[in-house]
Structure 1
């Protein structure tokens, strides 16, 4: 059952199934060589993830829009700021080691590989989420990140953003290490606000990106 979910999710994220594509249980079962039951379960999970939605003719790949980007980031900005503030207050020494290690990996990531850039950036954010020691925040941010997988173009490829993001991360990590909750909150908020604006810019230039 998990294999069908993983395969279908991967094909939605990589664009094999385009935005708005109908997802017919029988056809998917034949495609993956399985019965309809695991397909039905996979679709249910993907609906929870925000990758598929119910349309007039059954399930389909969820459509994209600038309004959705704004909705996602409105929540994500708030949660990322809260996570950073909590991390500043509650982090352990091990949390700091994990965050610093993730940032060091990001620093050494090649800018020729957008997927690796996005993954390295996500790892830093996830380490900060974990350092908040708030499972609800981690769960909600993970779900929001699932929504954003349908917008595959990374904001980190916008000219100048990679270096800027690295500097913003370092400042944020320093604030967390110094247990400056207010500064960590504001830095995380501003960091994600810039990401939102760049995401909207990318969408305006190419709605399929």
Structure 2
């Protein structure tokens, strides 16, 4: 992919590079060379430098010992991120119960239908996108701007970890949990919704840790 428009070059470079990182085109720990990226995109190094700075802010790139590298999460990073996500998304679903619109409820129902279909066909990349969309709808429905901004960074790292560390795998009951979450939202059952959201995210963490453990034991 190359830059095709003259305006906002750094934003275009940022979007392209971020997409490539989240799709697993770069290995964790791989060095990112500014000149090579600029040449690949067909632009000067200035916009690429700004895009890299933005990705460092996102946590997808790191700067150490004079080199920029793709983020390589540790086990401690994984646990820390999921702990933050658990608390923040429990708050999000609690707020969403009061704020969610009929249109957002329809979006969740449509997402669930597509998720069941993708799960039956074992389409892991599509499942990952649908799972993120499901949580995004609930987060946006909270109407809390600060919460939305905090979770934006966290969800990006979660998606990256899933792609690079567990190849998009999902535990068997996650789809049915999405269905229950929607029902609790619609019925206004705040305690059940927040409890289930916490359990849902804890299971996600357990799945990641189990997969990492299996890989390391091979």
TM-score normalised according to structure 1 size? 0.88
> Does residue 1:58 correspond to 2:77, yes or no?
no
1:53 and 1:60 in contact (8 A); partners too:
yes
1:89 and 1:180 in contact (8 A); partners too:
no
Aligned to 1:172: 181
> What's the Cα RMSD here?
1.7
> Does residue 1:155 correspond to 2:169, yes or no?
yes
> Does residue 1:117 correspond to 2:127, yes or no?
yes
Q: Which of 18, 34, 40 is matched with 2:27 structurally? A: 18
Cα shift readout 1:24-81 (whole Å, capped 9, x = no counterpart): 2223222322111111111011112110011102221112211110011010011111
List gaps (5 residues or longer) in structure 2: 1-8
**Residues in 2 aligned to 1:14 and 1:127: alpha-carbon distance in whole angstroms:** 22
Aligned to 2:194: 185
List gaps (5 residues or longer) in structure 1: none
Residue pairs, 1:58-77, within 5 angstroms? 58-77=67-86
CA separation of 1:16 and 1:116: change in aligned 2, threshold 3 A = closer
**Residues in 1 aligned to 2:159 and 2:101: alpha-carbon distance in whole angstroms:** 30
**Residues in 2 aligned to 1:184 and 1:206: alpha-carbon distance in whole angstroms:** 33
Residue pairs, 1:125-140, within 5 angstroms? 125-140=135-150
Q: Which of 16, 19, 43 is matched with 1:7 structurally? A: 16
2:128 and 2:159 in contact (8 A); partners too:
no
> Does residue 1:81 correspond to 2:90, yes or no?
yes
CA separation of 1:29 and 1:202: change in aligned 2, threshold 3 A = same
* Count of residues in Structure 1 that have an aligned counterpart in Structure 2: 202
Runs of 4+ in 1 over 4 A off after TM superposition: none
